[in-house]
Chains A and B, each alone.
Chain A
């Protein structure tokens, strides 16, 4: 059974802000999805290879040939702020 605390944790990991009421709603909505998946889990898949994508395409590769990158002004066009050609973001504290 999904708990509100678990939903809060998942929201935090995904950087999703949710009010207490919203979290309560998500518990119910996500719970229905999990119930559905739980039913799928009952199917006997012994010996079946896992399907992680709809089209099992393999071996599609690219030659190691440089392409022209974007112009920097295009790259930074949507940046909230920039300095010295870099995206400027709120300080990330590492230490």
Chain B
């Protein structure tokens, strides 16, 4: 029998912090500025320059660490990681090695299975530390044998978040990364855009026979530039490793790069010098000094985070799936919370928002937090209340929403202007029912002969006769009564 293999994945995620200035100097950090226009002696590594840590960068890193439920080291320290590369002008990166800012955290998230059930997962965070980013190298549009170096990014504050090898499938790796992104979006410490490189992910992957405790040979995967490519790259790599083992081969410990176009990982053939970073304490910087009061104040400043939000929504009666869809999307969750504050009923509001409003916005490519979205949370909550109190029925609500999306009018205005109030006057409905029964003698006869499905057809005719405004429950009751009366 063929050996069954288990996948073991750990992720290393780099996140650029959304500060105005760099980690150790006052250079701006704007994305997309012309090359080498945001540099100074500190980030150029010129002799005599000295680093001074950015207070906000440390506060942001701490906030992220607390959101990940980490233990904080208030006296964390800085180290030098030494290596030579043109995008690293000092010849070392200032990072944290022996005493990182934070350790032992957790990220909780849920995965939706193919049958629609959601499964709660928890991945442990080994460490979170602060460091500075490197510059950028480019080869395009340059003479054949040269590399261009732009140091605008050199010194931009980063946090590196290292997970324990708790991830078991490529899909789970993608969902972990998306959950991490959402969490960081809530904290506001980064804009976490993979396409702009403010969120970057490397993976350590190995496989082992099920039941084996020791880890297989680790392969590091780099250059995964989207959530999709994280999953695709890991799927490819896991298959490659299992195939190799099953055909009697051996896995080599190496770094492989993901090629998004060819959809393969390939070995970076650069001579694999043993990484020897010769870390030592950064002599230019003292230890951090995070007071208990500062840590506590930062903890208090955290907003409601996705897991808590999801729990709250479930306690309000939402399904696990709906709760998670809302909680994992900060603008959507904030819209929903505003609907609740405006008095919307939770389940009905969630349905109106995620199915009806989002469906209409998606069709026109408008985001919920876009100014082009003309429906406000209170207007949508009002629409929900108009349905709840019987002013309009659910079908008419969809028509009203169409107009709200187009014109930005409130629900009540649309209902009044277009005379869409639900008809709950039994006399008017009885009149409509009778004329429908008279106009459709064949269907009525067939219904009496047992074709019960025709009841729906007759309801439809009544709704049509009232231009959709009749109270459906009342139509049902009156129609049934009339049909019974006539059959006797």
> Measuring CB to CB, which residues of chain A are less than 8 angstroms from any residue of chain B?
9, 13, 15, 50, 52-53, 55-67, 69-70, 72, 75-76, 81, 83-95
A15 to B86, CA, bound (A): 13
Nearest residue, chain B, Cβ from A53:
B283
Contacts of B44 in A (CB 8 A): 70, 75
B342 within 8 A of A: no
Contacts of B77 in A (CB 8 A): 52
How many residues on chain B are close to A (CB under 8 Å)?
Answer: 56
A15 to B145, CA, bound (A): 21
B269 within 8 A of A: yes
**Tally of contacts, chain A with chain B, CB under 8 A:** 138
| Residue contacts A-B, CB under 8 angstroms, 28 given | A15-B84, A52-B281, A53-B281, A58-B75, A58-B287, A58-B288, A58-B289, A59-B289, A60-B52, A61-B54, A62-B26, A64-B21, A66-B20, A66-B21, A66-B27, A67-B25, A67-B27, A69-B37, A69-B39, A76-B36, A83-B142, A83-B148, A85-B35, A85-B37, A88-B143, A89-B86, A91-B147, A92-B86
A78 to B54, CA, bound (A): 28
Contact A64 B145 (CB under 8 A): no
CB distance from B133 to the nearest CB of A (A): 16
Mostly, the B contact residues are loop
A59 to B55, CA, bound (A): 9
Contact A59 B286 (CB under 8 A): yes
Contact A57 B286 (CB under 8 A): yes
Contacts of B141 in A (CB 8 A): 84
Nearest residue, chain A, Cβ from B78:
A52
Contact A86 B150 (CB under 8 A): yes
Contacts of B409 in A (CB 8 A): none
B456 within 8 A of A: no
A91 to B58, CA, bound (A): 35
A59 to B281, CA, bound (A): 16
Contacts of A15 in B (CB 8 A): 84
A69 to B58, CA, bound (A): 22
Contact B138 A65 (CB under 8 A): no
CB distance from B16 to the nearest CB of A (A): 14
A75 to B108, CA, bound (A): 45
A84 to B37, CA, bound (A): 12
Contacts of B57 in A (CB 8 A): 64
CB distance from A5 to the nearest CB of B (A): 14
A56 to B286, CA, bound (A): 6
Contact B55 A64 (CB under 8 A): yes
Looking at the complex, which one of A55, A69, A85, A94 makes contact with B268 (CB distance below 8 Å)? A94
A70 to B75, CA, bound (A): 33
> Measuring CB to CB, which residues of chain B are less than 8 angstroms from any residue of chain A?
19-21, 25-28, 34-41, 44, 52-58, 75, 77, 82, 84-86, 137-139, 141-151, 257, 266, 268-270, 276, 278, 281, 283, 286-289
Q: A62-B54, A84-B148, A89-B146 are in contact. Are A94 and B270 (CB under 8 A)?
A: yes
Contact A64 B54 (CB under 8 A): yes
Looking at the complex, which one of B21, B36, B82 makes contact with A87 (CB distance below 8 Å)? B36
Contacts of A72 in B (CB 8 A): 34-37
A57 to B52, CA, bound (A): 12
A94 to B56, CA, bound (A): 34
Q: Which of B55, B82, B148 is the most central at the interface, judged by chain A CB atoms within 10 Å of its CB? A: B148
Contact A88 B147 (CB under 8 A): yes
Contacts of B269 in A (CB 8 A): 95
A69 to B38, CA, bound (A): 5
Nearest residue, chain A, Cβ from B37:
A72
Contact B148 A70 (CB under 8 A): no
Contact B286 A87 (CB under 8 A): no
Q: A60-B52, A72-B37, A86-B36 are in contact. Are A93 and B270 (CB under 8 A)?
A: yes
CB distance from B224 to the nearest CB of A (A): 15
Q: Which of B55, B147, B287, B289 is the most central at the interface, judged by chain A CB atoms within 10 Å of its CB? A: B147
Closest 8 CB pairs of A and B: A67-B26, A52-B281, A86-B148, A59-B289, A64-B56, A61-B55, A85-B35, A87-B149
- Apart from A66-B26, A75-B151, what 12 extra A-B contacts exist at CB < 8 Å? A58-B289, A60-B286, A64-B55, A66-B27, A69-B37, A69-B38, A70-B40, A75-B39, A85-B150, A86-B149, A88-B143, A93-B270
Looking at the complex, which one of A69, A85, A92 makes contact with B85 (CB distance below 8 Å)? A92
Contact B286 A89 (CB under 8 A): no
Nearest residue, chain A, Cβ from B287:
A58
Contacts of B84 in A (CB 8 A): 15
Contact B21 A91 (CB under 8 A): no
A57 to B19, CA, bound (A): 24
CB distance from A28 to the nearest CB of B (A): 22
A95 to B348, CA, bound (A): 54
A63 to B58, CA, bound (A): 11
CB distance from B288 to the nearest CB of A (A): 7
A81 to B142, CA, bound (A): 12
A57 to B151, CA, bound (A): 29
Contact A66 B52 (CB under 8 A): no
A86 to B185, CA, bound (A): 33
A55 to B288, CA, bound (A): 14
CB distance from B135 to the nearest CB of A (A): 9
A95 to B223, CA, bound (A): 12
